[in-house]
Amino acid sequence: MTEFSSRVERVSISGIREVFEAAGADAINLGLGQPDFPTPENARRAAIEAIEAGDTDAYTSNKGIESLREAIAAKHDRDNDLAVDPGDVIATAGGSEALHIAIEAHVEAGQEVIHPDPGFVSYEALTHIAGGLPKPVDLREDLTMDPAAVEEAITDDTAAFVVNSPANPTGAVQSADDIREFARIADEHDVLCISDEVYEPFVFDGEHHSPATYAESDNVVLINAASKAYSMTGWRLGWVVAENDRIERMLRVHQYAQACASAPAQYAAEAALTGPQDHVAEMRDAFEERRDVLLEGLEDMGLQVPTPEGAFYAMPRVPEGWTDAVIDRGVIVVPGEAFGANGEGHARISYAVDVETLKEALEVMREATNAVR
Ligand SMILES: Cc1ncc(COP(=O)(O)O)c(C=O)c1O
């Protein structure tokens, strides 16, 4: 057989999948990275109507349909105090493709990408695929990323740093002050900030803040998606917002890799963004309630958990053997090391399940905790 590229050989299939495969069919799954709610009815309807009208049979423009990009611009005006020209938006196949084209267009072979550790698995993998060097930074005790740690990690070879708030796998939310600092660092060091905001609506106290709102330069690429906000992970619809020259470069990658985002998904996402937002608020409230149940349960069994302020994940510190003991008893959680070396000694628990299931899982975790102590 012929050889594979060294870039792809540096990447392996995510450790999360291995956990799912090891668990039995009737296991309680607290490993999933998606909301357990249906896609809003108006979004589903919009896709069906577009299909029936024959509007989805052909390629759309590479950037996506104008009306979707206008809806995305209106969303950023409404939620982020950010004036976005619809021409500075590319609709992508989820936040995943948005991250891919951002890194591919900005990272030269051998350049460094600073990212949180533990952090979302794609940052390191996509950096390798681009021929770059991932540069993980340690997090604070509360699992937020310290702007000072990012600033210290910057070298002449830094192409970008990634901010992810609210964060996967930690559920941590960066303060407004931190976000302002990240914007300042992007400005002063003339380095790109890739801001992954796919969990934006799920902030329990205070508000979501974007570095794009505060940066004075054009050095922020904002990544967002309909995936989590509208429970549309299967639709594959995300987007990037950036200054026009950056958009033009990212479009080169998007055009050749993807041509355009799926047309039915574009119509669905437009309806989700422009329709009533009460589903989003309902999901946020449900996640907050579950977060409280989970936190109380974990603390009650003596585990230390930095309070997750957003998304739908918690990342307790766990004794050795805990994750395996929980999985062996039929509850899937993800070992922290799947998210970077600093994840060791932690587990990621997704609480995208109903309260009753969560309570059942907590009983299992209690047994496992007693067994490994
Ligand atoms: C932090 C973060 N960013 C981006 C994504 C990609 O989301 P999608 O491609 O489903 O829009 C995920 C998915 O889990 C995520 O957790």
CA distance 200 to 141: 22
Residue 228 has pLDDT above 90, yes or no: yes
Annotated domain spans of the chain: 6-39+278-372, 41-274
Amino acid 25: pLDDT = 77
pTM for the predicted model, two decimal places: 0.97
Instruction: Give which of 372, 272, 373, 360 is closest to 29, Cα–Cα.
Output: 360
Cα of 95 to ligand 1 centre, how many Å?
A: 5
Residue 362 has pLDDT above 90, yes or no: yes
Amino acid 14: pLDDT = 74
For residue range 37-72, what is the model confidence (pLDDT) as tens digits? 999 999 999 999 999 999 999 999 999 999 999 999
Helix intervals (H) in 189-277: 211-214, 226-229, 244-257, 263-274
Kindly report the protein residue whose alpha carbon is nearest to atom 16 of ligand 1: 168
Give yes or no on whether 6-39+278-372 and 41-274 have one common fold.
no
Is residue 196 in contact with ligand 1, taking CB distance under 6 Å?
A: yes
CA 252 to chain centre: 23
94: enclosing H helix or E strand: helix 94-106
Residue 24 has pLDDT above 80, yes or no: no
Identify the three-state secondary structure at position 283: helix
Cα of 171 to ligand 1 centre, how many Å?
A: 13
Is residue 113 in contact with ligand 1, taking CB distance under 6 Å?
A: no
Cα of 147 to ligand 1 centre, how many Å?
A: 22
Share of the chain above pLDDT 90, in %: 95
Is residue 33 in contact with ligand 1, taking CB distance under 6 Å?
A: yes
Is residue 95 in contact with ligand 1, taking CB distance under 6 Å?
A: yes
Is residue 14 in contact with ligand 1, taking CB distance under 6 Å?
A: no
CA dist 252 to 102, 103, 278, 341, 371, Å?
11, 13, 37, 34, 54
Contact predicate 339/348, CB 8 Å:
yes
For residue range 269-313, what is the model confidence (pLDDT) as tens digits? 999 999 999 999 999 999 999 999 999 999 999 999 999 999 999
Residue 335 has pLDDT above 90, yes or no: yes
Cα of 236 to ligand 1 centre, how many Å?
A: 10
Tell which CATH architecture fits domain 6-39+278-372.
Answer: Alpha-Beta Complex (3.90)
For residue range 125-181, what is the model confidence (pLDDT) as tens digits? 999 999 999 999 999 999 999 999 999 999 999 999 999 999 999 999 999 999 999
Identify the three-state secondary structure at position 112: strand
Is residue 168 in contact with ligand 1, taking CB distance under 6 Å?
A: yes
Please give the CATH topology (third level) of the domain spanning 41-274: Aspartate Aminotransferase; domain 2 (3.40.640)
Is residue 262 in contact with ligand 1, taking CB distance under 6 Å?
A: no
Give 124-161 as a DSSP string: HHHHHHTT-EEEEEEPPTTSPPPHHHHHHH--TTEEEE
pLDDT band at 16 (very low <50, low <70, confident <90, very high): confident
CA distance 8 to 23: 28
Cα of 232 to ligand 1 centre, how many Å?
A: 11
